Amino acid sequence: MHYRTLGKSGLKVSELGLGCMGMSEFYGARDDEESVATIHHALDQGINFFDTADMYGPYINEELLGFALAARRSEVVIATKFGFERDPNDPSKRAINGSPEYVQSSCEGSLKRLGVEVIDLYYLHRVATDTPIEETVGAMAKLVEQGKVRYLGLSETSAATLRRANAVHPISALQSEYSLWSRDIEAEILPTCRELGIGLVPYSPLGRGFLTGQIKRVEDFAADDYRRQNPRFRGENFAKNVALAEKVSALAKAKGCQPAQLALAWVLAQGEHIVPIPGTKRRRYLDENLGALDVQLSTEELKQIEAILPIGVAAGERYPESMMGAVNR
């Protein structure tokens, strides 16, 4: 396993991380035993970067990850996020809170659920409209002073917001959706990360599974699978995006690798400051994803991929309208 550095502060992580959200919610039934086995297998394969958030579950994903990593805490970099408040009576209802008081209380809760004394990388999950980013990041910086957090990150912010935040305290990583079919950050956000020396942590680098080539019918998803509500998985958009996935599969076949491996190799090739965190709750898919580390794309192959999958090629927004409003503020 090779390692990459996020930000200027020297946070070193494995060049591929593990997103743990789907182990507890959004993508069908839970299997905690297999999820824990997958986390342990990731560790054994050299992955040291694990991503969660308090709102996943809610709360139970942090508990699961804390349990799985308890015996090997010194080997890992734990990243978690705060900012979303979910109604305990109706988890589908969400609000965004960036107040300094909420920053402190959220951190205390995450520390307890994870069973750790310090969080390695603490992200603001989404930017609140009623709290200046300077106030939120200022409160996050106090967590660093208190020794409860080592590094700070943001998720789904605009380039302008990222600059304002970084002026208050160094931001080590920005987490944003980035993949062959979600490339909008290349216009402003990715160049800003490069300019400021901020690492990029792409989530959903496999297009929520679409780029694996295995998704053929929406009906195959569990009734509570989040993707049933995602615009890219609905109606005409679904058929158009299946055709895109088939193009990725054809490219992968010509390369002699799996579609997921080609998609991840493309993300990894976009810069040494980029560390994708594909999510999975099964060991067999983890091993497939790790195979991407052996796939090297030539300049000519990257040009070919660009020609087939240019910016904006995916059909449909990447979130439902109700959630897009919280993106890139």
- What is the pLDDT at residue 287? 98
Q: How far apart are CA 55 and CA 83, in angstroms?
A: 8
The residue type of 189 is: I
- What is the pLDDT at residue 276? 98
> 69: Cβ–Cβ under 8 A, 6 or more apart, which residues?
39, 43, 50, 76, 78
- What is the pLDDT at residue 27? 81
* HSE, side-chain direction, 13 A CA sphere, residue 201: 35
Catalytic residue list: 56
* Structural domains in the chain, sorted by start: 3-209+270-295 (3.20.20.100)
Helix (H) or strand (E) holding 12: strand 11-14
Q: Are 151 and 175 in contact (CB under 8 A)?
A: no
Q: Are 270 and 11 in contact (CB under 8 A)?
A: no
Distance, first Cα to last Cα, the chain: 35
Q: Profile the chain (329 residues) by mean pLDDT over runs of 10 residues.
A: 94 98 88 97 98 95 98 97 86 88 98 98 96 98 98 97 98 97 96 97 94 85 81 90 94 97 98 97 97 97 95 87 71
- What is the pLDDT at residue 217? 83
